[in-house]
Amino acid sequence: MDATILGFLLLDGLQNGVVYGLLALSLVLVFAVTRVILVPIGELLMFAPLSLVWLLEGKLPGTLWLALALGLAWALLSRGRGALLPLLGTAGLGLLFLLARGVPPLAYPAVVLLVVYLGVATYRVFFQPMREATVLAFLIMAVGLHVAYMGLGLVFFGPEQFRPEPLLRGEVVVGLSWQGVLVLLFALLAVLGLYLFFRLSLFGKALLAAAENRLGARLSGIPPEEAGMVAFGIASLLAGLSGLLLAPLINAAYFMGFMLGLKGFVAAILGGLSSYPMALLGALLVGFFESFTSFYASAYKEALVFLLLVPALFYQSLRARAVEE
Amino acid sequence: MLLVERLCVRYGPLEAVRGVGFALREGEALALIGPNGAGKTSVLRGLLGLARAEGRVVLEGQELKGRSPEALLRLGLVLVPEGRALFPGLSVEDNLLLGGFTRFRRGENLGPDLERVYALFPRLKERRRQLAGTLSGGEQQMLAIGRALMARPRILLLDEPSLGLAPLMVREIYRILAELKRQGVTLLLVEQNAKMALSLADRGLVLEAGEVALEGPAELLRQDRRVVEAYLGLAREVEEG
């Protein structure tokens, strides 16, 4: 191996690693606040670029109908004034999509809003009604949603792969495109933003509080349902934006989310599903490990990444700190 | 101010509270005492909507049953739970500020309240940057009370504030509760430490097996033969021995 290849591999690993990192942070946040392992995060990521492709071609994506259906279910689940938010959200989203057909400056924010709305509605419709359930029941629901959303992705967008136009064209140096720089920059900003949100804003601290002690949070006037919706919202926002930025570099297709989500999950596990910095480091480790194994043993690259789980889980079980409440 | 009638709390087939009723006047301190498993904590849980309850709970003419703890917080009912339910990974000051989260959301300034709590608990001010999880048990209890005060309670409900604390710290906590009472906060106190509770309270309620066994002014309860034998006798022996 020479220095050029080493550089390629490092860049590739870094670029993938930061995306896994964002997904891992989202998973840790959602788990801490709601005890849900958000398996369908990869599907939320996938919905973003594919919906964008549809919207830019002037078509309404099937994900919009999914959002409308979930919004309706949300409204039915909440009585009285609580139904106003999903109804207004649904109407606003529909209107935005009608306007955004074929208009790139509107289409990007419209797609991001759609994914955030889908994420929040997913929590409200599927997870909140079972809020006193066990972690295992949440996991079963999450896996079910992952399968369902991936299937819906196939129904909505077909089996083809798409490559959306990058926001920035060209390359900085060989092996690093401007779009790749954009991904790195976004990841940096997102991590910084999350850090400041949790460090400086009382809203961020309220979210941490809801994760630390649910009874204490309720007694302080922080409703766990709202905290759950915010956590899901942040996770979907990160997933949607990552999907939009990443899709021009790797192809977008209905199955793309699974592997990305799974690797984010591996990274989150490396951090014990509880530590944000460790999850981020774990994600970079997964990214580098993946890019180097794909160079040396490309046939086994996925298997080798998941092999990382074995020592991580072994270490976690040795520490044996119960994650459950 | 607060009227509770025929309150029943059930956990499945288990009836923890069977028709408990009492009234709480403004500025008064009421102690709920009784042995382990008498249903003291369940009364609080039922009051606050943390457990399903039957009966009537009325605050100044408003029926409270069926409302969430968040809604009751806005009405001024604030609980300091058993075990404190602090946020151990956040700083002391953040814990306090989050106690006033509902008011913060309404755009109120929490600064003066924070100063008031620090004046009441100088020890918390010294440790404001420390993580709540690193405090001693007594300091954690202070923090839990301080956090509740940040919500500006009209009725402060305390569940076993002296549990697991050293005698000196128990006295310190009760000194502060007495100070709060002097400032006009209405107190509903659940305690196993009947001696301390009755020394602070105006009136007492003895619970046994989910029912009110005795009720009366704290002064009389402290001299009641049955209470002395059942709850105070042991405490006295320990003190003398």
Q: Which of A82, A195, A213 is nearest to B99 (CA)?
A: A213
Total count of domains within chain B: 2
Residues B55 and B95 both lie in one domain: no
Q: Is B239 found in the same domain as B161?
A: yes
What is the total residue count of chain B? 241
Q: What is the CA radius of gyration of chain A?
A: 20
B82 shares a domain with B48: no
Give the domain ranges of chain A. Answer: 23-279
The residue-averaged pLDDT of A33-40 equals 93
Task: List Cβ neighbours of B101 (8 Å cut-off, separation of 6 or more).
Answer: A202, A206, A220, A221, A222
Asked if residue B231 and residue B161 are part of one domain, the reply reads: yes
Q: How far is B96 from chain A (nearest CA, A)?
A: 10
Domain co-membership, B29 together with B57: yes
Residue of A48, A44, A67, A68 whose CA lies nearest to A56: A48
The alpha-carbon gap from A274 to the nearest alpha carbon of chain B, in Å, equals 12
If asked whether residues B225 and B160 sit together in one domain, one would say yes
B45 inside domain? yes
Cα distance between residue A96 and residue A99, in whole Å: 5
Question: What is the pLDDT at residue A271?
Answer: 83
Distance CA A46, CA A242 (A): 9
pLDDT computed for residue A157 by the predictor: 95
Is position B176 within any domain?
no
B87, B99, B101: residue with CB nearest A213: B87
What is the C-alpha separation between B114 and B150, in angstroms, rounded? 7
**B241 and B160, same structural domain?**
yes
Please give the single-letter amino acid code of residue B2. Answer: L
Asked if residues B87 and A213 have their Cβ atoms less than 8 Å apart, the reply is yes
The share of chain A scoring above pLDDT 70, in percent, equals: 98
Report percent pLDDT > 90 for chain B.
54
Q: Are residues B60 and B3 in the same domain?
A: yes
- Tell me the nearest-neighbour CA distance from A195 into chain B, angstroms: 14
Does residue B73 sit at the A interface (CB-CB below 8 Å)? yes
In this predicted structure, what is the pLDDT of residue A322? 54
Separation between Cα atoms, residue A5 and residue A163, nearest integer Å: 25
ipTM of this predicted complex?
Answer: 0.87
B119 and B8 co-located in one domain:
no
Helices assigned H by DSSP within chain A: 3-34, 41-56, 62-77, 84-100, 104-122, 135-157, 178-200, 202-212, 214-219, 224-246, 256-270, 276-296, 301-307, 309-319
Q: Which of B152, B173, B198 is the last residue of a domain?
A: B152
Confidence (pTM): 0.88
| Domain enclosing residue B223, as ranges | 1-69+156-165+183-241
Q: Is B92 within the bounds of a domain?
A: yes
Between CA B188 and CA B126 the distance in angstroms is 29
What confidence tier does B174 reach under pLDDT thresholds 50, 70, 90? very high
pLDDT tens for each residue of A219-250: 999 988 899 999 999 999 999 999 999 999 88
In this complex, which of A208, A215, A221 lies closest to B102 when CB atoms are compared?
A221
Per residue in B48-76, pLDDT (tens digit) is 888 888 889 999 888 888 788 888 998 99
The answer to whether residue B175 is domain-embedded is no
Residues B207 and B219 in one domain: yes
Nearest alpha-carbon partner for B183 in B24, B48, B26: B26
